[in-house]
Amino acid sequence: MRFIDRISGILLAVLAAASQVAAAPQRVVSMNLCADQLAMMLAAPGQLISVSYLARDPEASAMAVEAQAFPVNHGLAEEIFLLQPDLVIAGQYTTQATVSMLKRLGIPVAIMAPADSLEDARDRMTEMGAHLGHPEKATALVAEFDENLGRLAQDADEGPRAAIYAAHGYTFGPQSLSGDILRAAGLRNVAEEAGLDRGGMLALERLVMLAPDLVILSQRRGGNSRAEEILNHPALRALLEEAGVAPLTDRNWVCGTPHVLRAIAGLAVERDAGQEPK
Amino acid sequence: MMAYVRLLVALGLLSLLLFVVSLLVGPAGVSPRLSLSALIFGDAGPLTLVMREIRLPRAILGAVIGAALGLGGAAMQGYLRNPMAEPGILGVSGTAALGAVLAIQTGLTATFALALPFAALAGAGVAVTLLLFLAGRRGGALTLILAGIAISALAGALTSLVLNLSPNPFAANEIIFWMMGSLADRSFLHVALALPFFALGACLILPLGRGLDSLTLGEDAAEALGVRIVRLRVLLVAGVAAMIGGATAVAGAIGFVGLVVPHLLRRTVGAQPGRLLFASALGGACMVLAADIAVRLILPDRDLKLGVMTAIVGTPFFLHLIYRTRGRG
């Protein structure tokens, strides 16, 4: 009985491995900024044939330079179809019309949910490895990620109090990827004190009253907007004279990829700078 | 006369009361006594910062913008002899918003801050001029409203277009602000942008009271009484454009204030557009301050837009006016 179990187990494993090799897609198109970056890290040469145009935006993408090597798409069904992909990787919330059309045309589409935590980020790496047929590369990437994270991570319980503040007065709570980045860098998130779990608008006067030790401020984007005016509000400027300020560099913060380690490392520097006697 | 003075005193006291309440209401939820002492005496703490840099400019802007909208509405109604004339409904605020959006998106405001209210003023000026031209000497209420709808629709579409084309990821989100208006997280920089334009507009319009009174007898009769119609028209256009431009540049388009306030006050003031001007300025300040308090009490954390509140109050008035003027077109 046990012998048969073991044999069938081995057989199943062999079969699974064989089907994975057979199923490894040869023409992969990514339509999502975060998937773009994971795919560029994990795909075999020639396997990835297009990434989204956002992957080349140096403000949004941590791999803008690498993305120069790939043709870009704009998430339109027509252009994707003409690339004749055998796998399309899309995000969960954007380009939904394109995804449903590609499915109707018989093209396999893998949907990747956004990462809302460092745990999610780890899962996405594994998922991408499975989609591309390179689980071993993903395992190595996760192991490297965990090792680096372990070296960087600090205890947040007694750490300085920090707030993320972006255009429109938006902040991120503890139950978000940004919240995890804060925690890993040894910072306590004041959004939690304000009762925001995932994130939301934080009125400027509440931010001022919370008086955080460090404000992680979003950087102005190209073009002009009224939404970013709040970042120049005199009350915020006065607050920043007391508190430290760190940049919220979107490219390292928005996607669950190993690049979040750069965000954590950057914060750790600010944290240590703030704790030195002034 | 006594009733008029009593009304002005009552409105003045009410706006003062609402101004103080506006200072005390906010998401930070601090006791009134602490808030006022932090505002007046001040310390290095964050509460003083909140009171002086966030709540005080917000309350001042509420009063100034309300006064601008009330006075602007009363002036337009007086000149056009039409109770439905109102800057928001007729697209004056909408074109002012378009001007402001263009100034921001072209980067003009980054080099020259005053470009914002000036561009909004230009937008408002175009709309008012166009409206007066279309209304003509004896244009009916319907003509005016239809012209206003057309101007509003075009201004709204172009504003959306400009914001959609912006390379900035946050710009498209701002369509809501420009269409509905808000005073959230404004600062003294905005007071400095709006106040001079309001003062200029009020100085141009308030002295026109006597001319507007004479105009109720008709243009010919008014001219016979020595009113210079062309001069009155030019001053009115400039004044309304300055006030609505300044207000919209910092707070977005807030509708219906200029409709509701003169309508409510007309009964007490009587059929004298001149007297209505000053009373409507005070009444407008009361209405916007009250609406701005309401948005913070109803949804303290969500930045409920001011224009939503004024539209909820104002639309029944507007429909009532349409109902009453049916058949008189």
A259 in a structural domain: yes
The shortest C-alpha distance from A59 to chain B (Å) reads 11
Task: Judge if A99 and A68 occupy the same domain.
Answer: yes
Whether residue A203 sits in one domain with residue A130? no
- The model's pTM: 0.85
Reduced 3-state DSSP string for chain B: CHHHHHHHHHHHHHHHHHHHHHHHCCCCCCCHHHHHHHHHCCCCCHHHHHHHHHHHHHHHHHHHHHHHHHHHHHHHHHHHCCCCCCCCCCCHHHHHHHHHHHHHHCCHHHHCCCHHHHHHHHHHHHHHHHHHHHHCCCCCHHHHHHHHHHHHHHHHHHHHHHHHHCCCCCHHHHHHHHHHCCCCCCCHHHHHHHHHHHHHHHHHHHHHHHHHHHHCCCHHHHHHCCCCHHHHHHHHHHHHHHHHHHHHHHHCCCCCHHHHHHHHHHHHHCCCHHHHHHHHHHHHHHHHHHHHHHHHHHCCCCCCCHHHHHHHHHHHHHHHHHHHCCCCC
Instruction: Give pLDDT tens digits for A156-207.
Output: 888 899 999 998 889 999 999 999 999 999 999 999 999 999 998 899 999 9
- Please name the residue ranges forming H helices in A83-134: 96-104, 118-132
Same domain, A138 and A38: yes
Mark which of A149, A172, A207 sits at the end of a domain. A149
Q: What angle do CA B86, B91, B93 make, to 5 degrees?
A: 80
A102: CB partners within 8 A, 6+ apart: A77, A80, A81, A88, A109
In a domain, A6, yes or no: no
Q: What are phi and psi of A175, to 5 degrees?
A: -90, 60
Cβ-contact A61, A251 below 8 angstroms:
yes
Selecting from B54, B174, B301 the residue whose C-beta is nearest the C-beta of A227 gives B174
- Residue A168 domain-assigned? yes
Looking at residue A226, what is its pLDDT?
80
Share of chain A above pLDDT 70, in %: 90
What local confidence, expressed as pLDDT, does residue A210 receive?
Answer: 94
Instruction: For residue B322, give the nearest of B71, B55, B83, B11 by alpha carbon.
Output: B83
Cβ of B187 within 8 Å of Cβ of A238? The answer is no
Closest Cα to residue B65, out of B179, B181, B177, B187? B181
pLDDT of A180: 95
Same structural domain for residues A193 and A119? no
- Residues A209, A145 share a domain: no
- Judgement on whether residues A142 and A175 belong to the same structural domain of the protein: no
Looking at A119, A149, A179, the residue that finishes a domain is A149
Total residue length of chain A: 278
- Residue A167 is classified by DSSP as G
Q: Are A38 and A17 in contact (CB under 8 A)?
A: no
pLDDT at A1: 46
Q: How far is CA B282 from the centre of its chain?
A: 12
Q: Which residue has the tokens 């001053």?
A: B235
Tell me whether residues A234 and B188 touch, CB distance under 8 A: yes
Average the pLDDT over A235-239 and give the result.
92
Name the pLDDT band for A2 (thresholds 50, 70, 90): low
Chain A's closest residue to B188, CA to CA, is: A234
Same domain? For A184 and A67 the reply is no
- Residue to substitute from B185, B193, B292, interface A, most A β-carbons within 10 A: B185
Mean pLDDT computed over B91-103: 95
Last residue of a domain, one of A115, A149, A183: A149
The amino acid sitting at B189 is: L
CATH number for the domain harbouring residue A125: 3.40.50.1980
The verdict on A144 and A171 lying in the same domain is no
| A148 contact partners, CB below 8 Å, separation of at least 6 | A258, A261
pLDDT-derived band of residue B59, with 50, 70 and 90 as boundaries?
Answer: very high
d(CA B32, CA B23): 9
* Cβ atoms of B245 and B87 closer than 8 Å: no
Tell me the mean pLDDT in the region B271-289: 94
**CA-CA distances (angstroms) from residue A35 to A30, A125, A138, B97, B121?**
6, 9, 13, 39, 47
Hey, are the CB atoms on B171 and A233 less than 8 Å from each other?
A: no
- Of A168, A208, A234, which has the smallest distance from its Cβ to B170's Cβ? A168
> Tokens 């009350």 identify what position?
A235
Which residue does chain B place closest to A240, by CA atoms? B46
Instruction: Identify whether A118 is part of a domain.
Output: yes
pLDDT at res. B328? 57
Assess if residue A1 is contained within a domain: no
DSSP label at residue A114: P
Q: Is A150 an 8 Å CB contact of chain B?
A: no
Q: Read off φ and ψ for residue A55, nearest 5 degrees.
A: -60, -20
What is the count of structural domains for chain A? 2
* Residues of chain B contacting residue A211, judged by C-beta atoms under 8 Å apart: 46
Contact between chains at A205 and B28 (C-beta distance less than 8 A): yes
Which residues, other chains included, contact B250 with Cβ-Cβ below 8 Å and sequence gap of 6+? Answer: B61, B65, B116, B117, B186, B190, B193, B194
More confident residue, B249 or A232: B249
Question: Does residue B75 carry a pLDDT above 70?
Answer: yes
Q: For residues B62 and B285, is the Cβ–Cβ distance under 8 A?
A: yes
Residues A68 and A141 in one domain: yes
| Statement to judge: residues A236 and A128 lie in one domain | no
Q: What is the pLDDT of residue A276?
A: 60
Q: Which of residues 153-182 of A touch B (CB under 8 A)?
A: 167-169
> In order of start, what are the domains of chain B with their CATH numbers?
2-324 (1.10.3470.10)
User: What distance in Å separates the CA atoms of residue B257 and residue B277, rounded to the nearest whole number?
Assistant: 13
A43-78 pLDDT, tens digit per residue, is 999 999 999 999 999 989 999 999 999 999 998 988
A206 inside domain: yes
Asked whether the beta carbons of B42 and B52 are under 8 A apart, the reply is yes
Query: Which candidate, B102, B150, B116, places its Cα nearest to that of B130?
Result: B150
Q: Which amino acid is at A246?
A: A
Q: CA–CA separation, B297 vs B69, rounded Å?
A: 23
Helix, coil or strand: residue A10: helix
User: What is the nearest CA distance from B68 to chain A, expressed in angstroms?
Assistant: 22
What pLDDT sits at residue A278? 43
Cα separation, A50 vs A67, whole angstroms: 9
Contact B95, B155 (CB under 8 A): yes
CB pairs under 8 A between A and B: 94
In a domain, A101, yes or no: yes
Task: Tell me if A75 is assigned to some domain.
Answer: yes
B125 has a pLDDT exceeding 60: yes
Mean pLDDT, range B20-40, rounded to an integer: 90
Measured between alpha carbons, how far is B223 from B237 in angstroms, rounded to an integer? 19
Residues A144 and A201 in one domain: no
HSE, side-chain direction, 13 A CA sphere, residue B328: 11
Give the mean model confidence (pLDDT) for residues A207-219.
93
What is the predicted pLDDT for the residue at B281?
97
Residue in B54, B107, B177 closest to A226 by CB? B177
Q: Does residue B274 register a pLDDT over 80? A: yes
Q: Chain B within 8 Å of A197 (Cβ-Cβ)? A: no
pLDDT in tens, B223-258: 999 999 889 989 999 999 999 999 999 999 999 999
Mean pLDDT, range B172-183, rounded to an integer: 89
pLDDT digits (tens, 9 = 90+) for B179-208: 999 999 899 999 999 999 999 999 999 999
* 3-class DSSP state of A172: strand
Tokens of B64: 């100034």
CB A198 within 8 A of CB A170: no
| Cβ density class A260-270: b for 16+ within 10 Å, e for less | bbbbbebbbeb
Task: Give me the mean pLDDT over the A129-144 stretch.
Answer: 96
Among all residues of chain A, which has the CA nearest to that of B169? A221
Identify residues of B whose CB sits under 8 angstroms from chain A CBs: 26-28, 30, 46-47, 49-50, 53-55, 104-107, 109-110, 166-171, 173-174, 177, 184-185, 187-189, 300-303
Task: Give the mutation candidate from A197, A225, A250 for the B interface (greatest B CB count, under 10 A).
Answer: A225
The total of other beta-carbon atoms located within 10 Å of residue A125's CB is: 25
For residues A67 and B259, give the distance between their C-alpha atoms in angstroms, rounded to a whole number.
Answer: 56
* Mean pLDDT for chain B overall: 91
- A10 confidence band (pLDDT: 50, 70, 90): low
Domain, as residue range, for A221: 161-275
A107-122 tens-digit pLDDT: 999 999 999 999 999 9
Q: In chain A, whose CA is at the least distance from the CA of B163?
A: A225
Same domain, A144 and A28: yes
Q: What element of type H or E holds A51?
A: strand A48-52
Are B46 and A233 in contact (CB < 8 Å)? no
Best to test chain B binding among A168, A201, A213, A226 (most B CBs inside 10 Å) = A226
Range from B42-46, B142-146, B265-269 that averages highest in pLDDT? B265-269
- The minimum CA-CA distance between B163 and chain A, rounded to whole Å, is 9
CB contact under 8 A, B110 and A224: yes
What amino acid occupies position B247?
Answer: A
pLDDT at B329: 47
pLDDT at A157: 82
